[in-house]
Copies of this chain bind each other. A is one copy, B any other.
Amino acid sequence: MRDVAIIGTAVTSFGELWETSLRSLWAEAALAALTDAGVDSVDLITIGCMSSGLFTGQEHLASLLTDELGMAGVPAARVESACASGGLAVRVGFAEIAAGLAETVLVTGVEKMTDVDGAAATYALGTAADSETEGFHGVTFPGLYAMLARIHMQRYGTTREQLAQVAVKNHANGLLNRHAQYHLNVTVESVLASTLVADPLRLLDCSPVTDGAAAIVLTTVERARELAAGRPVVVIKGSGLATDSISLANRRELAELRAVRLAGERAYTMAGRSPDDIHVAEVHDCFTIAEIMATEALGFFEPGSGGPAVEKGLTSLEGRIPVNPSGGLKSKGHPVGATGVAQMVEITKQLRGEAGQRQIEGAKIGLAQNMGGSGGSSVVHIMEVV
């Protein structure tokens, strides 16, 4: 199996971008990543997108977007795993190079979510849950994560204030990221005073509906060294995928994100690393409780210790294990298909020492964790400077 390196990265601005389209957003990210990589041709394009069908009335993105880039003919693959679609696009590109089927792959993620109204967007996102046991009964994602928050609070004593601290930290980080959707000073008090969405989750516990795209370019380590031009070479050392029951009702355990734990274990094993080795992580904070549970499932903290950890500042930029320096989904925004790729962009920037004001000093090993639905699927990648 060949090693795979990341040689180019790009994200568009994230936000409510009514003046642009899915194809234009995507092409902006794709072209910028190719430019950053210094290549003008690829053997494969992968596209993570959750539901362009429901959000924009357009499937078959492999054909649409390859042509938009002026690359009609080039092999392309669109993949979907709800909000983990971007991470899955990374995995598929990684496997093609690892197998020797491709030398260079453009990995992308995109979601255009604001071409429909809020109710239609909520319906589209709801298709990531089990339609029969969850969706048909009116449960949407704030409700599902509220149930996870309730059980975590009951089991471990996680507090309402600890949830709020996740939002405070991630919005503080997002102030340092010009691509972020929100540049807001958020305090524990403002989170607790924000509109109740699904008890105990409030508006400022939730990631937003977002338009955006992200892209990275993968190639062999040999080619990456040739193209590095003095920049550090970042290699994907571990890649883990896992699923869990889609519906909460079928889960063995609700206070743990099992798919995240399994995907993390698989990635750590492949990389020959442990949670203690990780210098910086991007995790899937679609809701504040999700970040706390993800940091536990990834082994950064013991089960039940994720809440106290954020309260103590262990996950802040200066903490023991900085989590979501980009601002996370919470502040940066959450264009669902793009998120997993955008996480890889942030970790690559951190490992290259190109993260500007939010740079984690000495970061050489990083992790990105992407998640679908209420934890029904997850993808974890571990990157290192070689």
Contact = CB atoms under 8 A, between A and B. Distances in A.
Copies of chain A in the complex = 2
Nearest to A21: B132
Which of A91, A95, A101 lies at the interface centre, i.e. has the most chain B CB atoms within 10 A of its CB? A95
A71 B262 CA distance: 13
Interface in A123-158: 123-124, 127-131, 135
A309 interface: no
Given A44-B241, A78-B80, A92-B92, A59 B51 contact: yes
Contact of A244 (B73, B88, B98, B123): B73
A254 interface: no
Nearest to A261: B73
A77 B58 CA distance: 20
B77 A92 contact: yes
A54 interface: yes
A286 interface: no
Given A67-B245, A77-B92, A95-B101, A53 B56 contact: no
Contact of A78 (B71, B81, B98): B81
Given A60-B376, A67-B250, A127-B59, A79 B78 contact: yes
Contacts of A77: 79, 81, 88, 91-92, 241
A229 interface: no
Nearest to A50: B59
A62 interface: yes
Interface string A199-242: 00000000000000000000000000000000000000001111
A377 interface: yes
A71 B245 CA distance: 9
Interface in A67-86: 67, 71-82
Nearest to A123: B57
Contacts of A54: 53-54, 59
B127 A74 contact: no
Given A44-B241, A64-B246, A101-B98, A128 B59 contact: yes
B1 A72 contact: no
Contacts of A72: 243-245, 250
A307 interface: no
A66 interface: yes
Which of A52, A81, A263 lies at the interface centre, i.e. has the most chain B CB atoms within 10 A of its CB? A81
Interface string A258-272: 110011001000000
A57 B95 contact: no
Given A54-B53, A79-B79, A135-B57, A245 B63 contact: yes
Contacts of A99: 1, 95-96, 98-100
A273 to B, nearest CB: 17
A101 to B, nearest CB: 6
A372 interface: yes
Contact of A377 (B57, B63, B130, B263): B63
A64 B130 contact: yes
Contact of A246 (B67, B81, B127): B67
Contacts of A123: 57
A8 interface: no
A129 B259 CA distance: 35
A373 B60 contact: yes
Contacts of A259: 63, 73
11 contacts: A56-B131, A58-B131, A59-B127, A63-B244, A63-B246, A67-B376, A74-B242, A77-B88, A79-B79, A79-B80, A98-B99
